[in-house]
A and B are shown apart, each in its own frame.
Chain A
Amino acid sequence: MTERPPLLDPRGPRFVAAVTTVVLVVILATGSGWLALAQAAVFALGALGPRRSPYALVYAKVIRPRLGPPGELEDVAPVRFAQRVGLVFTLAAAVAYLAGGWVVGTVLAACALGAAFLNAAFGLCLGCEAYVLLGRLKAKS
């Protein structure tokens, strides 16, 4: 390890995933390309840094002050990568919906919903798992 990685209160990303889950349910129910585009923008901010997500700001301002200190911390890099994966899926879903490709948009939004829900409900971050696996593959080659 060369330098200590930045750390994150893991409850922040869980909260972000919970809000994202609700938004994606609405996207799936309405087929709204514009809402998918808005969620893609949220992911884009989160991809810059998990604390920059608007949902994370709500967590930091409103929820975090009411909670005790976190029992554990997690690495920022996998969370940031997961936000990028979310960005790709929701942006593609937005483009598909706006272009009239309802089926493609639905499939993409459904994938994003499944991943967001697993993170929110079970603490299983598929994007983070993918990040670790990719890192391992890179180390192998």
Chain B
Amino acid sequence: MAVAVLAVATIFGLVWRSRQGRLVRVAEAAASGPVTLLQFSAPACGPCRQVRALCESLAGPDVRHVEVDAAADPDRSREFDVLRTPTLLVLDAAGTPVWRTVGVPRRADLEAALAGVR
């Protein structure tokens, strides 16, 4: 019994982990121009800090990083359907979410996503 529970939980955990930080395309980039990295965070959320550091290192003249406290701004969380932190959205110049990820994305994946939107 215990072995069965552990086996099922292991499969669940592996699937969960493989999905962490995976960027998902939610729309085609409609507008070209400056991109916004919209990050939803929570206080004392470790992975949020990693996402912040990553976004700040990618920020520049045409990449803006905006961080929102998901709990303190429920309206915006609802608008973008954010249920977990850290959630990161890549918005095109028109403010449309193009990519979305929960967890810490890999730098190369995020760079590739940004290159496609700009």
Chain A residues at the B interface, C-beta cutoff of 8 Å: 1, 4-5, 7, 10, 24-25, 28-29, 71-75, 106, 110, 113-114, 117-118, 121-122, 124, 129, 132-133, 135-136, 139-140
The reply to whether A7 and B2 contact each other, CB–CB distance below 8 Å, is no
Size bracket of the B interface:
20 to 34
A-B contact count (CB 8 A): 75
| Chain B residues packing against A (C-beta within 8 Å) | 1-2, 5-6, 8-10, 12-14, 16-17, 42-47, 49, 69, 71-72, 74, 77-78, 83-85
Closest to B50 in A: A72
- Once A74-B44, A124-B16 are accepted as A-B contacts, the answer to whether A133 and B74 lie under 8 Å apart by CB is no
Q: Verify B1–A106 contact, CB threshold 8 A.
A: yes
Is the contact region of chain B dominated by helix, strand, or loop, or is it mixed?
Answer: helix
Residue of B9, B17, B43 ringed by the most chain A CB atoms within 10 A:
B9
Contact among B1, B13, B44, B74 for A110, CB-based, below 8 A:
B1
Once the chains are docked, how many angstroms separate the CA of A122 from the CA of B16? 9
